[in-house]
Amino acid sequence: MLREVTATRYITPLRAGGSVPGVVEADDLGTYVVKFTGSAQGRKALVAEVIVGELARALGLRFPELVLVHFDPAVAEHEPHQEVQDLLRVSAGINLGMDYLPGAKDFTPETARTFPVDPLEAGKVIWLDALTVNVDRTVHSSNLMVWPTFGIAPPRLWLIDHGAALVFHHRWDASAPEKAYDFRNHALGGYAPDTRAADAELAPKVTEELLREVTAAVPDAWLAEEPGFATPDEAREAYVRYLLARVKASADWLPRDFPSREQLAAEDADRATKTQQGRPNWLKRVPDLHGKPAAEQDWSVHLG
């Protein structure tokens, strides 16, 4: 089960992501990035954060500790922005905190040119994302951090932000467990990821017992209103059964072929050219921010 802490000081909102998480201090003297139950993404995003994050940790991938944060909006009365205040007021009670990694840097394409990632480690991250249908770890938004440990050990890759995973729980009846997804643009696709070795190592570890453990960490209140299920335990059972069926079907969805960084950059450039050619003459001098080549994109990682 996740530890519980109480927020004692609200430090600042993080506006990079749509959920507007906040950095808070808690009564255990820890600092956490908190995602709030009142955010636009809703409680399903928090359910995904817990299940995928705890599964990642159980499989040996680096992921910051998650805690349940008791939050009283009164600790953030000094926050000047009305929209943030509105979010905090509707988020009183239990929210989700992720241990803040001081000094961590976004994993960007610039980082990728010099930062080594072992093919097996890359394969394990991609395997986890494919299993949990995490569509938000791409070259455009990696949701990965590089955390130096200040001389104790070399910088390591850390996973963050799994709120967009488990897309099947938005439409339980419309997603087959064996369905494959396009992971060509995965953030680690350029590291020759060994997904076959990752599958051989990780698939046997994703047991029914493990899935019951990670789903048990989700608070009842976040599952109580799940459509189609009478109780939180019934909803947990659905997650266990779906993920168990999916891991058994890994041969059908295992990502195997990844384009190189150069190929992705060429595809982006070609897409930008076609977009520009399709514009009326009066628009051709307006920069197309969505179709910029990969090397020119703003690759800031969204914590929210």
Lowest-pLDDT range, 55-69, 137-151, 177-191?
137-151
- What rounded mean pLDDT belongs to the chain? 88
Residue 6 confidence (pLDDT) = 98
Q: What is the mean pLDDT of residues 102-109?
A: 90
Find the helix or strand (DSSP H, E) in which 34 lies: strand 31-35
Please provide residue 198's backbone torsions phi and psi, each rounded to the nearest 5 degrees: -65, -40
Q: By percentage, how much of the chain surpasses pLDDT 70? A: 88
CB 195 within 8 A of CB 254: yes
Q: What's the CA gap between 196 and 274, in Å, rounded?
A: 36
CB 146 within 8 A of CB 157: yes
Please provide residue 168's backbone torsions phi and psi, each rounded to the nearest 5 degrees: -65, -25
Q: What's the CA gap between 133 and 222, in Å, rounded?
A: 20
CB 31 within 8 A of CB 25: yes
Residue 294 confidence (pLDDT) = 39
Q: What is the mean pLDDT of residues 27-43?
A: 95
Strand 105-106 with 93-99, pairing: unpaired
Angle between helices 232-248 and 208-216 (to 10 degrees): 140
pLDDT tens for residues 119-176? 999 999 999 999 999 999 998 899 999 998 666 668 899 999 999 999 999 998 878 9
Angle between helices 195-202 and 119-131 (to 10 degrees): 60
Report which of 98, 120, 258 is spatially closest to residue 187, judged by C-alpha positions: 258
Which of the listed ranges 72-76, 182-186, 274-278 does the model predict with the highest average pLDDT? 72-76
Number of Cβ within 10 Å of residue 288's Cβ equals 14
Which of the listed ranges 185-189, 260-264, 289-293 does the model predict with the highest average pLDDT? 185-189
* Residues counted in the chain: 304
| CA dist list (Å): 198 to 15, 159, 166, 209 | 35, 16, 20, 20
For residue 188, what are the β-bridge partners?
A: none
Q: What's the CA gap between 163 and 151, in Å, rounded?
A: 32
Residue 17 confidence (pLDDT) = 66
Domains of the chain, residue spans: 3-99
Q: What's the CA gap between 46 and 196, in Å, rounded?
A: 30
Work out the pLDDT band at 282, boundaries 50, 70, 90.
Answer: low
Work out the pLDDT band at 296, boundaries 50, 70, 90.
Answer: very low
Q: By percentage, how much of the chain surpasses pLDDT 90? A: 70
Residue 150 confidence (pLDDT) = 64
In terms of Cβ atoms closer than 10 Å to its own Cβ (0-12, 13-18, 19+), residue 193 is buried
Lowest-pLDDT range, 54-68, 163-177, 205-219, 273-287?
273-287
DSSP structure string for 139-158: SS---EEEE--TTSS--EEE
Question: Identity (one letter) of the amino acid at 122?
Answer: A
Residue 60 confidence (pLDDT) = 97
Q: What's the CA gap between 295 and 123, in Å, rounded?
A: 24
**What are the counts of helices (DSSP H) followed by strands (DSSP E) for the chain?**
9, 8
For residue 138, what are the β-bridge partners?
A: 186
